[in-house]
C-alpha cells in the first residue's frame, strides 16, 4: 500500500486515471479508542460495515477485541486476520452448517436468534453444547433512524416470553439484543428500545446476563449532524442500570458505521460536465452504492492546486457504467467552475463504501493509499464541526 501525506498530494502526484481509495488508519484507531474507553460496556465491531483486514487490525490496535460477524465468510476472515479475537455470530438466521463450523472450528460461543426454530438449529448444530451465550433479538422501532431495520428480524413482544424461557433452558448465558436501525439520529431510539427489553424481561421472568443494544450509532454527513456520541452512551447506561437483570449482567453494543466511516474516502476524476451533472469514474456499482440507491449525501471537496473563486452550486453525479441507474442525485456542493480533469474527494466512505463495491462493467479502483491528514468530517476531533460545503483544497 502506498503512503502519502494528504488527499491533495495524492491527486497532484499520481494524477490517477481510476478512482483511488484513501485510508486513514489513525482515524479508525481513534474511533476504536473512543468506544473502548467511553462506551459503558463492551463494543463489538460490526464487520459487515467494512471487512478490510487492514481496518480490522487498526480497530484491534485501538482496543476492539470482539467482533460481530454475520456469515461464515466473516467468521473465517476475522479469525484468520485476528486469531485472538472473540467472535459473536449475530445474524438471527444462519445455515446449520455455518453454526457447526463456527462453533467447532473457530471457537464461536455467542449466537443470536429470533425464533424457536433457530434455537433448535443452534442446539443441533452445536450438539447440545452447554457453553453458549444466546442472544434473543427483539423487534424494535427504527423511527429515529435514517435506514430501517425493523421489518426483517426480531421477535415481537408477544412472542418474546416463550422464546426467552426456552432459550434460558439451554443457554449458559442468556442475552437480549436489538437493532434500532442505521444512522440513529437521537439517543431516544435506545431509550425506547430498552423500554421494550424491560417489558420482555418482566413478562418472561427470566434471568438475563447480557443486554446488547446493537448498532445504529451515527456518523456525520451533510444534512445529518447527530448529537455527540456521549449523549447516546449516557442514555444507554441509564436505561441499562434500570433493567431487572442479573447483578453481573454485561452491556454490549455493535458499532459499524461509527467505527469505520472516517477510515476511508475516495478520489474520483471528472470525465465530463453537462450543466449541473458531473460524469465521474466511480458510482452506483462502486463505493457510491448508497449515494445512488438511497440518495445518501456524502461530503465532497475539490482537490485543486489553485483556489477557485467561483461560488458553489449543487451538482449531481453520473458514474462510469452504461447504466442509467448509475446516478447520484446529491446534491453535492462544489465550486461552479469544476471541469473535466478535476479531482474530487468524497468522504466518509469507510462504512459500506468498499464493502458494496462490484466490478460491474469492468470499472473499479486500482490503488489504495494511506494518508496522514484528517477525515473531511469527524465525530472524534473537537466537535461535530464539518467543512464548508464545496470547499477547495489547495497547495
Domain boundary among the residues 260, 290, 319 is at: 260
Under the banding of pLDDT at 50, 70 and 90, the label for residue 382 is: low
Under the banding of pLDDT at 50, 70 and 90, the label for residue 392 is: very low
In angstroms, the Cα distances linking 324 to 202, 273, 292, 362, 363 are: 53, 16, 11, 16, 15
Domain boundary among the residues 260, 278, 294 is at: 260
Domain total in the chain: 2
Report pLDDT for 2.
73
The tens digit of pLDDT for each residue in 94-142 reads: 999 999 999 999 999 999 999 999 999 999 999 999 999 999 999 988 8
Are 11 and 63 members of one domain?
no
Between 214 and 181, name the one with better pLDDT: 214
Report pLDDT for 147.
77
Under the banding of pLDDT at 50, 70 and 90, the label for residue 14 is: confident
Are 12 and 49 members of one domain?
no
Are 212 and 89 members of one domain?
yes
Instruction: Give the residues across from 302 on adjacent strands.
Output: 344, 392
Are 57 and 175 members of one domain?
yes
Is it the case that residue 278 has pLDDT exceeding 70? Answer: yes
Best CA proximity match to 183, nearest among 220, 146, 223: 146
Question: How would you write 114-160 as a 3-class SS string?
Answer: CCHHHHHHHHHHCCCCCCCEEEEEECCCCCCEEECCCCCCCECCCCH
Are 206 and 223 members of one domain?
yes
Report pLDDT for 386.
38
Are 154 and 280 members of one domain?
no
Which CATH number does the domain housing residue 236 bear? 3.20.20.10
Are 6 and 117 members of one domain?
no
Report pLDDT for 357.
84
Domain boundary among the residues 260, 289, 323 is at: 260
Are 126 and 94 members of one domain?
yes
Which CATH number does the domain housing residue 283 bear? 2.40.37.10
Are 212 and 314 members of one domain?
no
The whole-number average pLDDT for the span 354-359 is: 84
Q: Tell me which residue range forms the domain holding 100.
A: 26-260
Are 182 and 266 members of one domain?
no
Across the chain, mean pLDDT equals: 92
The tens digit of pLDDT for each residue in 281-303 reads: 999 999 999 999 989 999 999 99
Lowest-confidence region among 18-27, 35-44, 318-327, 357-366: 357-366
The tens digit of pLDDT for each residue in 139-178 reads: 988 888 887 777 788 899 999 999 999 999 999 999 999 9
Are 226 and 176 members of one domain?
yes
The tens digit of pLDDT for each residue in 193-223 reads: 999 999 999 999 999 999 999 999 999 999 9
Q: Note whether 77 and 51 are within 8 A (CB).
A: yes
Lowest-confidence region among 155-164, 166-175, 231-240, 377-386: 377-386
Residues of the chain with pLDDT > 90, as a percent, come to: 82
Are 126 and 57 members of one domain?
yes
Distance between CA atoms of 134 and 119, rounded to whole angstroms? 9
Residues of the chain with pLDDT > 70, as a percent, come to: 96
Distance between CA atoms of 146 and 21, rounded to whole angstroms? 26
Is it the case that residue 78 has pLDDT exceeding 70? Answer: yes
Amino acid at each position: 500500500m502506498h503512503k502519502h501525506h494528504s488527499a491533495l498530494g495524492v491527486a497532484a502526484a499520481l494524477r490517477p486515471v481510476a478512482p483511488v481509495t484513501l485510508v486513514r488508519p489513525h482515524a479508525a484507531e481513534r474511533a476504536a479508542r473512543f468506544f473502548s474507553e467511553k462506551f459503558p460496556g463492551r463494543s463489538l465491531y460490526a464487520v459487515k460495515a467494512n471487512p478490510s483486514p487492514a481496518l480490522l487490525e487498526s480497530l484491534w490496535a485501538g482496543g476492539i477485541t470482539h467482533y460481530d460477524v454475520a456469515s461464515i465468510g466473516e467468521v473465517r476472515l476475522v479469525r484468520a486476520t485476528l486469531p485472538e479475537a472473540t467472535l459473536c455470530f449475530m445474524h438471527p438466521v444462519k445455515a446449520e452448517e455455518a453454526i457447526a463450523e463456527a462453533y467447532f472450528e473457530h471457537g464461536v460461543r455467542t449466537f443470536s436468534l429470533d425464533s424457536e426454530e433457530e434455537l433448535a438449529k443452534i442446539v443441533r448444530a452445536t450438539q447440545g453444547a452447554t457453553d453458549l451465550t444466546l442472544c434473543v433479538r427483539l423487534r424494535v422501532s427504527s423511527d429515529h433512524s435514517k435506514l430501517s431495520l425493523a421489518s426483517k428480524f426480531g421477535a415481537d413482544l408477544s412472542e418474546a416470553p416463550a422464546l426467552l424461557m426456552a432459550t434460558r433452558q439451554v443457554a449458559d448465558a442468556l442475552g437480549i439484543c436489538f437493532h434500532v436501525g442505521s444512522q440513529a439520529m437521537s439517543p431516544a431510539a435506545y431509550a425506547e428500545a430498552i423500554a421494550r427489553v424491560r417489558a420482555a424481561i418482566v413478562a418472561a421472568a427470566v434471568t438475563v446476563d447480557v443486554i446488547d443494544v446493537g448498532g445504529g450509532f451515527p456518523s456525520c454527513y451533510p444534512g445529518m449532524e447527530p448529537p455527540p456520541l456521549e449523549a447516546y452512551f449516557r442514555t444507554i447506561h441509564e436505561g441499562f442500570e434500570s433493567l431487572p437483570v442479573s447483578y453481573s449482567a454485561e452491556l454490549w453494543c455493535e458499532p459499524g458505521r461509527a467505527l469505520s466511516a472516517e477510515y476511508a474516502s475516495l478520489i474520483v476524476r471528472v470525465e465530463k460536465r453537462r450543466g449541473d451533472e458531473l460524469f465521474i469514474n466511480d458510482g452506483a456499482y462502486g463505493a457510491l452504492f448508497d449515494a445512488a440507491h438511497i440518495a445518501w449525501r456524502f461530503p465532497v471537496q475539490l482537490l485543486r492546486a489553485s483556489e477557485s473563486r467561483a461560488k458553489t452550486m449543487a451538482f449531481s453525479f453520473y458514474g462510469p457504467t452504461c447504466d442509467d441507474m448509475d446516478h447520484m442525485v446529491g446534491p453535492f456542493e462544489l465550486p461552479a467552475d469544476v471541469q473535466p480533469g478535476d479531482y474530487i474527494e468524497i468522504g466518509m466512505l469507510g462504512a459500506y463504501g468498499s464493502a458494496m463495491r462490484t466490478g460491474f462493467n469492468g470499472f473499479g479502483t486500482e490503488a489504495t493509499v494511506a494518508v496522514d491528514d484528517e477525515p473531511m468530517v469527524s465525530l472524534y476531533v473537537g466537535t461535530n464541526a464539518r467543512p464548508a460545503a464545496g470547499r477547495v483544497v489547495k497547495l
